[in-house]
Amino acid sequence: MLERKRLKGRTQVTFVLPADQPGGPVSVVGDFNHWNPAAHPLAPRGDGTRAASVTLPAHTSHGFRYLAAGDYWFDESDADGHDGTNSRLHT
């Protein structure tokens, strides 16, 4: 799930997954963090989910995916679109 908060000239995007699906550590990777899995690991939240947030310029488009343990890549079902390989996010 994607949560968005509009800020002046920017958008804070929070990437949210259930705490146990998939099991093990998960990171969100994309063009906004140079596809670096260490940049945005999802952390547990009090509501039983885990999340990572990034702040991006407004009116931009970004490719991203999730990377879980065991080199398991997967897409965001609530993304704004897909480009054949990656999920797409529009701020």
Whole-model pTM: value is 0.93
Per-residue tokens: 24: 């093990």
Specify the CATH number of the domain 2-84: 2.60.40.10
pLDDT tens-digit profile of 33-60? 999 999 999 999 999 999 999 999 999 9
Residue 21's pLDDT band, with cuts at 50, 70 and 90, is: confident
Going through the chain in order, the beta strands assigned E by DSSP cover 2-7, 10-18, 26-30, 43-44, 49-57, 61-68, 72-74, 81-82, 87-90
Provide the pLDDT for residue 20: 86
Which of 66, 51, 65, 62 has the alpha carbon at shortest distance from 89? 62
